[in-house]
Structure formats: C-alpha cells, structure tokens
Structure 1
C-alpha cells in the first residue's frame, strides 16, 4: 500500500532524501523514526503530493505520486503535526465540510460526520465550536477528518506531539482501530514508546536514507547486550560512578551520563554478574545509589546507537527538514 522507491529530493545543496526506500503492507503500521533533519517531513510531503521527488517514485495503493497524483490523494488521508480544524466551526460542521469537499452529497456527508463523531467519542461536543476544544479533542477531530472518505492509507505526522498522556492514549486507540479496519498507516513520531506500541515495522532514517529497519524486537536485539542503569543520590558523584561502570565493563565500553536525572548507564555484556560487581564497588567507594537496574535494550538505545544521540535530544529541535507542514488541508481532498 505504501512503496517508496529510490526517492531523492534536494533543496539547493541540501539533500533531504538520498535514495530512500520504504514499504508497508495493507493493514499495517510503518513507523518512521529519525533525528531532526533526517528527512521525515520531506518524505511525508512527497507521499502526500505536496512535493515532487527529483528522482525515484513513490506509490500509494498502487498509484504513482508522479503520474497519478489525483489518485494518490483519493486514497490518502493526512493528519499533520498541527490539528487542521476550523476553530469557528463546530465538530459536526468540520466533518460535514470535509465530506462535502470529497464530493459527498449533503445526506451522505452528514451521516458520515455523525458516524465519526460517535467513533471518536465526540458526540457530546458535536455542536460546540472546535476552538474551545482541548488538544486531545482537537487531535481526535483532526484524525476523524483524515478518514472521512475511508482512505486506504493514512499518514500521521507526529500525531501526539504536545498532547497530555490521556490524549496520547486516546490517539493510540484511534490508530489501533484504524488498522483493525484494514487501513495502512505511516506514522512519524518522536516518541519511541509510541513506535514500540503501534508499529508493525520500523524504519530509522538519517540523512535521507534508511539506516536500519525491522520490527521493534529486531531493532532492540540489534542494540546488543543488556544495560545497567544506576541512579546516584549525589550529583557530585556522577563522574566517579561513570568511571566505576566503565572499569567494570571493560575496555572500549563507555558509560552514558544523564546529569538531570543523576543517571549513569552502560552496556552489560555479563548481565547480572556485572551489576553485582558495580554495586559492590560503588559501595566500597562510598558512592550512594538510589536505584539500580538491569534492563533489556530499548528503542531509545537503538536510536542512540544509530544516530549518535538520544531521541529526546532529537525531539527538542522542532525545525523541520525542508519546511514544516503547518495545518495543511487534508491530503485526500481532490484539488
């Protein structure tokens, strides 16, 4: 349902996409991860026909973005980084308007609006102006608008950015229900927990090309051994504790320090035996520990290993590659 074949796109001397290849089958979620400037937003713009690739091609439901962009838009829904709702219209009026733009008659558009308001738990606020909604409610309304015409593919560009935990969980439930109904989803996200929970297949991109892909489990296994996390009691002990961990782990293994959370972590090829040695030496050196744990690699470890910095750091910069998509019209609406 989604196929990106050797797509390249440049902005002047900056190469946003460099032979990018992606694929997603029907009724699956493809998670797209990458640091700021990696090419995620440019990929979304190419797939939604907002940008034409310099070379290569991309297909949605078998239709080329180059030769049949109108068919691509008819089979595609988009929910961008910013909820694209008309704040002066009610929830019902927003959805009915989108239906009419798709060419539905008044009765069909109204019926579809009521159906989606019920599915997205917005019936109680159907008659209220969307400008009064919380972030989570606006996001649900935006997602509802993206599927008014029952598209085969939905692109979600960082759909939970800025939402509180409740709004994020609501959005995850919506995505799961879309997939259960057979919709294919492309999900770009800065939250690795989100990709871990929702994505059937994950592609990590950097500098416009895929640098790793697989299931969440496969990617975490590629990060190697278990890890030790130690939380210190005193900020002044952080560097000394990192030295203890590095000496215990052996040559070439570096500890990662998180001063804000007083946390030191390191790869643990010997598992619990290394943890026992580390705790013993920390106690001998009078370096008090509040928490210590042995854990399996996470997607954040994978991200760090592949891109050189943690996903949280990548998410701090919100300037996008190319230009940000700011409240675009629904991509599925025919031009």
Structure 2
C-alpha cells in the first residue's frame, strides 16, 4: 500500500528510495546526528560529516566484499565523466582498450575513451537493436589491449550480463551504475568499478568508484587535477567539497541494505520482482518484451505493446492509476519499468494487476 500522495515510481533515475531511508533523511535535515547543524548545512570538514563518510566507506566494503588495498571513492560528474576519466588514468599514449558495446551508455564510453587512446568495439550489437549481451567466445580481446570495458546493465534496452564476461586475462573496467548492489558482483575480478548513485544507491550527484591497486598505479603524470584518481584518494574523497547530502543518503541506503539481508537479500528481492513482470510479459502476446532470454535485466524491464498504437493510452492510463516513470527512453520508445532496490515488490504486483486490466479492456 502506497502512502497517501505517493505514486508507484518506476523511473529510471533518479529512482525511488526505500521509505525508511526517506524518513531518516527527513529527520536529519534540521539536525544531523544531534550536531546542531542541518544535513544540508554541515561542513564537510567537521567531525560529524567525517563520521558519515567513514561509515559509508565501511558499509560499502562490507556489503560488496571489497578487497583490502582497493580504494573506495566518492566523485562527481556521474558515470558520464568516468567514461573519459577511466581512459585518461589507465591508458598511456597509443595504448588500446577493448569495449563490449551493448547499448547507448557503452557507446558513449567508447567514444570518450577514443579521445585518449585506441578504443575499439570487439562486440557491438547495435545492428540487432541491442537485444542481448555477448557470451564468452563471441568476441576476441586484442592481445595488446590494456583493459576491457563493459556496461553490466543496460537501462535503455533492458539487457544485463548474468555472467562475468571473459576478459582474455586483461583487467576489467565496468560501468555498474544501474545494477550495483542489485546483483552479484565479484569486486576482486575488476580493476575499476564505477556507478552513478541515482539508481540503486541514492540521489543524483554522487559517483561511487572502486579501484584496484593496479588501477591506482596506472595513473600518469600531467592529468588535470580533478580527473586524477590520486587527487581524490589522497584526500579521502574530500579534495574539494563533496556532495555531502548525497553521501549521507548513500550511507543510509547501504545501512538499509544491511538491515534487510545484505546483498543476498537485495538479489533475492530483485529476482522476485523481475520474475513477476517477465511472467506477465510472457503470458500473453499482447506484450512484446525487448530483451532476449538469457540477457534480460532484473533492473530495467523493457517492452512494447503488440499494437504500438496503444502505448500512449497505456502510459496515460498508468499515470491516472498512480504509476509513474514507465515511458521508455526517448531513443528507444515503448515501456520501461525500472525495479531497482528501492522499488517495493508491492509496486510490481500493482503494476502487473494494472497490465492485466489494461489488456482485458483493449485486447
């Protein structure tokens, strides 16, 4: 049951937060941890906020089983900045990076890395409409590539890796913006993990980056200060004023994850939500799911109606019935339900009920 005035939010990001977290944030706005300073007013140099950022780092290390020696950073500029920043830090002049292009965001990551070095798509599903992710053996990593980059979940098209992609023995860099803390991830098998917070971790404006010792050692001289990972690691993510509000919310989200079964609990809930939606999409030919089986995302479920002329009516009636954020990305169209960690299963149950009612009225 939704609280009065709130909709069932299926937006792709900024996304719905757990209500427990929203209540905690609201309570901290006038007075954070009895410091006398409001959450939006507290100095990032204060002991009060230092305890917040320390807590956030510790929770991330616990929930994600981050190995010793890996850096945990809070950055700004979103994943879009990381598209360039990763290459700038990891590639020397003339060096190569290989990309698995599975959607719009990995296309952008490839483009930005091309400004720095020899970035090459060893797999690209654009001609097929980005309906699947590659399986091992369907691509070949260049022998002299420095690393391989992939996007673990593709929000636009609703596809996702359900296996650790073969890297040919090269370091892995992953954009995990839309499924971090929602699926299993082996941090030790990656050298850079980056994620915008606004889908599974908190509000917009904070980017989580986790870097291995290898990645930290790769940084070269002459990188612009704010684009150098060492700048932020050496100052505990406080070289400049960080997004204090966003980091606080992220800490509260990780605390909520820990209270609710940890990463395993989040994975179980997300699988259950996805099973409900895909079960409905596969039940009737009234719906046309986009992603191929085996590549379907448990974070972003995308589909069209068999009669695409009904899609506008579906979206209009959904809003009237209390469902928001279902319109597909402008570059893709159709319907998209984002069911990140903060989305309660009750919202998915309600959406499936609405879908059945809509089908009965329009089929």
Q: TM-score, normalised by structure 1?
A: 0.25
Q: TM-score, normalised by structure 2?
A: 0.24
Q: Which has the higher strand share?
A: 1
Higher radius of gyration, 1 or 2: 1
